[in-house]
Structure formats: structure tokens, C-alpha cells
Amino acid sequence: QEAKRRKQEAEKAWQKETASTPFAHPQEIAPALMDRSVRLTVKQEIEEFEDKRKQCAANLKRISELLKGESLDEDEWTDIQLKKEAAEKALEEATALSGSAQEHLRVIEANHQRFASIHERLEELQREIDRLDKLQTVFKGNTFVEFLAEEQLESVSRDASHRLGILTRQRYAIEVDSEGGFVMRDDANGGVRRPVSSLSGGETFLTSLALALALSAQIQLRGEFPLQFFFLDEGFGTLDQDLLDTVITALEKLQSQNLAVGVISHVEELKMRLPKKLIVHPADPSGKGTTVSMELM
């Protein structure tokens, strides 16, 4: 009875274990048995298959989500593959062209930089040539001397114009025209230019005095041994009282600029303003010769 009971239990357990298998009887299992090594190999293949199946299932799910219900037949898929291959080939060609263009651009930039350097040097040389041409032109004949004379004349006229402005209370100024002559600028009359011949006697004297003082300052005071004195001979008789006072005041200012001014004059008002005088006494019939005496104020 115990054996029967255990046999029944064993049959139930067998039926339960073999319910999901293709084996109906125990003797059918023997031919299906495998070696351990073969079984492990098959198990590994099955696991790899399951992994690939799961990956394919995941890919199918992802592609289905991307397609959103759309579908492709084999011809459309082939066409897309051909387009993809063509696009990839075009990308490779474009990449190659881009590399070639980059190299070409690098060469152009290097050449441009060299060109800019050469062009800058060329401009420097051209400026040098222009200066040399100008210098060569200046040194032809008397051109250089005339150029220096014009520059000196401009300098003298500027100095004289400044002095004349002081003497005339900024009414007149001296300019040099294109032909190297003097022109008067009447600043009291809107800066009108007028010839020197239109000046009155007193104005002519003041202009001449300004030019003489400027020329003396340019020549006598700039040498190795400057002559710090200047003589004026007459001309004061043509001045009215106001102009005479202006001229004397200007001459007194010159005295304070380390320049001694000697005045040869018979005008009494002028004599009274001079601090030091050399009086020349003419010879008399008795035979006494000319004598000179000094008077100090």
C-alpha cells in the first residue's frame, strides 16, 4: 500500500513536471539528453537569441513610435537607402572640397599679408622718391635759393606784421602775395587787402619801421656775434602827435628787449623822450671842428 501510494504521488509529480514538455514517457527523455558542455553552449545561444529578440522588439517599438502609423514598402525603403548613400557620398565630397578651400584660403591670406607688406614698403619708397624728386627740382638753377628767400621773406613778413599791429593798434598787417610782393591787410576795414601805394606818409613810415625792425631781428640778432643795436634816420617829421607817441613807446619797448635803438632826428618832441642823446655840434667859422657831446636825462 505504501508503495502504491508513493507510486501515485510520483505519477502525479511526473504529470505535473511534464505537462509543459513534449515528453509523455520517461523512456522518451534518454534520447534527448545532452552532454553538459553541449547544454551550456545551447543555453548560451538561446540567451543570445533572447537578447537579440528583445533588442529587435525594442527597435520595432521605437520605429513604430517614429512612424506614427505610417509604413514603408520594400521599394520605398530601397529608394531611401539609395538617397542616403548618395547624400553620404555628397557629404564626403563636400568635406574634401571644404578642406581644399580651407587650404586655398590659407594660401590666399598668406599671399595677401605678403602683398600688404610689399605695398606698404612700396608706398614708403614712393614717398622717398617723391621727396627726392622734389629735392632735385628745388636744387635746379636758383630754385633752392628762391625757395629759401621766399621762406625768409614769409618769416620777416610775419614778424613785421606783428610789430606793425603793435604800432597801429592792430589796424594793419603785412602779407606776401603770390609774386613775392607786400600787400597790406586792413583789419580795421574787414581785412580788405590793399596795395602799399595806398598808404599815407605816416602809415608808410610805420610799415617801413616794422619791416626794418623785423629784418634787423632776423639778420643782426641771429649771427654768431649779434649786433644788438639799430639806427633809425629821420622819417619822424611826417608823423602826427598820436603816431609819434606810439612809435616812441614801441622803441622804448625795444630798449627793454636787449636791443639798443639809435634815432637820428630833429623832432623836438622826440628829443625830449630820449633818455640818452649824442648832440652833434657843427664846425664854426673860427676853425673849430665838429664836436659831439652826450646828454643824460
Return the domain boundaries, the chain. 144-296
Q: In Å, how far are 94, 99, 139, 158, 188 from 90, measured between CA atoms?
A: 6, 14, 71, 79, 85
* Closest listed residue to residue 168, CA positions, set 242, 254, 274, 252: 242
Q: pLDDT below 70 — which residues of the chain?
A: 220-228, 234-238, 250, 253-259
Looking at residue 256, its pLDDT comes to: 55
What pTM, to 2 d.p., does this model score?
0.44
101 has which bridge partners? none
User: Which residues are CB-contacts of 175 (< 8 A; sequence separation ≥ 6)?
Assistant: 157, 161, 182, 183, 184, 185, 193
Looking at residue 222, its pLDDT comes to: 61
Looking at residue 121, its pLDDT comes to: 94
Distance of CA 64 to the CA centre of its chain: 65
Give the total residue count for the chain.
297
Looking at residue 228, its pLDDT comes to: 66
| Secondary structure letter of residue 282 according to DSSP | P
User: Alpha helices of the chain — where are they, by DSSP H?
Assistant: 2-18, 36-67, 74-138, 143-167, 201-219, 241-255, 268-273
Give the separation between CA 187 and CA 262, rounded to whole angstroms: 31
CATH number of 144-296: 3.40.50.300
Looking at residue 259, its pLDDT comes to: 67
Q: Which phi and psi angles does 279 have, rounded to 5°? A: -95, 120
One-letter amino acid of 147: F
Distance of CA 87 to the CA centre of its chain: 49
Looking at residue 105, its pLDDT comes to: 93
